[in-house]
Structure 1
């Protein structure tokens, strides 16, 4: 496969909601729009290679989400789920004059793309999900239907973040001295070891643009009587993914139903049925004390359940499972990902 190498540029776009930093390919203003939505603790930088891989018929647009990169760091109202982000996208599209883009969402960005499709199905040409967060959020659920383990969402939200990692983000730690430094988290969790990305330094700098605190990452939390003793708050990134605030269980009811591609790395340790970021799984392996038998969240099974319903309702769904790849499969297996993406973009033309 021949990969193109167009020049990239960035600019700040004022919208009715906030000013958004956007990465674009030069001289593609009239091509078919493809919007690439990054994940948590990252920025649009993680999409730069994918943008370069798209042929001239496509106009790749990669925004920084609020609180990441160089976009305005407005607070996140977690009681709206991820709608602060999806509404920001809608405002950006209005400002750019973009109509019916293809959406590509990675991790948190996958949840945002799902929400955008759920709320505005006629505005989406195709949807590509890259190791997306479960449609039932992150943490605090027990089965493929997304049943809450506890009514308050215990085990999810801002309190689930490792405080050492948060502190290292806040102080701009670029070292490898700890397994919880951003660089080591990138090397051991974002990609499958022993791979070290060619653009590692750029990705670390991107991670360090993450705003921290109660309004951003990870967000606030509340105490819970249920194990592990914490429940979601109402502010910040991890709370907007709590199952008490974010849930998309009726995607199959939308019309129209654009084609959906689900790409996942088989060795992803972040979005997994045995996620190393799920307190229930960590409890089961003895890494979090006092485990009461709460089952790990079956994240893959949940996504497959929601997409199966979508397919049974008449939507086109394709799952591409990539062996020997982790969470950032679009970086780890660049050519394979680009090929799968281009096939879906063609379906949604």
Structure 2
């Protein structure tokens, strides 16, 4: 499993969403590295990571098992995890399995209604189709702020923060990652039903155009013991839009875990950003 690593301290593993790679975390590792050993992975079949190895498949349970093996290989004893979208669901599943010390989930998959699932599938299908544009067209769109906005608005509220290289990397990764289609065809059958037994935060951008913010209400009902926060001005990938707010909530959650505290029916809150 390919990864990048920076910083010192207790380990925190960053898990990206469908069609992305560890690069999507942008400045989050830099904001955490003074206090934590930050490891941004490429999920199986994404970025520079190959398809699942022998004995593993594409189910979330299999991907969790592969990540747990990765923890063992690096000698990580129950690291903190921060996940986005598909990675948010995986982070919550790792929490339910007791494999991690704390969970911060950004717009996690698995809380959708049929209508919400249909909307997300439509947006992802459009992004996938657009990724097959000729590479020179992708580079042309990526070279202009308006072009980046037209294509990437479902993912990022502040597309002006994307560079051309970021844009091209995202588009080509969506095109080439075998993990995109493998997860895409399985996620419609998925709902998160677990219960993490460690400090957990669920964060949702109020401008999320893929997993709509109404799904945050479902997450609040299913996970009453977690802290829930709304990130104002953020879309589906708040780690680009409001990284400082993401890190603020993640640090609070990780420090509660590091202090040995257990969540006890923490109240849901809405935090302005």
Please give the range of the TM-score, normalised by the shorter of the 2 chains. 0.7 to 0.9
Q: CA RMSD in A?
A: 3.1
1:158-182 superposed Cα distances (whole Å, 9 cap, x missing partner): 78853x53244245433429xxxx9
Aligned to 1:306: 222
Change (3 A) 1:85 1:203: farther
Match of 1:53 among 12, 23, 31: 31
Match of 2:2 among 5, 21, 38: 21
Q: Could you tell me how far apart the structure 2 residues matched to 1:58 and 1:305 are?
A: 31
Aligned to 1:131: 107
**TM alignment of 1:129-208, pairs within 5 A:** 129-135=105-111, 140=114, 155=118, 161-162=124-125, 165-170=127-132, 172=135, 173-176=138-141, 183-184=148-149, 187-192=152-157, 195-208=159-172
1:8-27 superposed Cα distances (whole Å, 9 cap, x missing partner): xxxxxxxxxxxx1101115x
1:195-246 superposed Cα distances (whole Å, 9 cap, x missing partner): 4115452253144224558x6323xxxxxxxxxxxxxxxxx1112311x2x2
Aligned to 2:269: none
Change (3 A) 1:88 1:157: farther
SS at match of 1:303: helix
**TM alignment of 1:1-349, pairs within 5 A:** 20-25=1-6, 28=8, 31-74=9-52, 77=57, 80=59, 82-118=60-96, 120-121=97-98, 123-135=99-111, 140=114, 155=118, 161-162=124-125, 165-170=127-132, 172=135, 173-176=138-141, 183-184=148-149, 187-192=152-157, 195-210=159-174, 212=176, 216-218=179-181, 236-242=182-188, 244=189, 246-249=190-193, 251-252=194-195, 257-272=197-212, 298-308=214-224, 311=225, 317-349=226-258
Name whichever structure is richer in helix by fraction: 2
How does the TM-score come out when normalised to structure 2? 0.79
The unaligned stretches of length 5 or more in structure 2 are 259-273
Q: Is the 8 A contact 1:53 1:338 kept in 2?
A: yes
1:128-176 superposed Cα distances (whole Å, 9 cap, x missing partner): 01121134xx56378xxxxxxxxxxx959978853x5324424543342
Aligned to 2:264: none
How does the TM-score come out when normalised to structure 1? 0.63
Cα distance, 1:321 vs structure 2: 1.1
SS at match of 1:342: helix
> Who wins on radius of gyration, i.e. which is larger?
1
Alignment: residue pair count: 250
Change (3 A) 1:185 1:115: farther
Change (3 A) 1:112 1:56: same
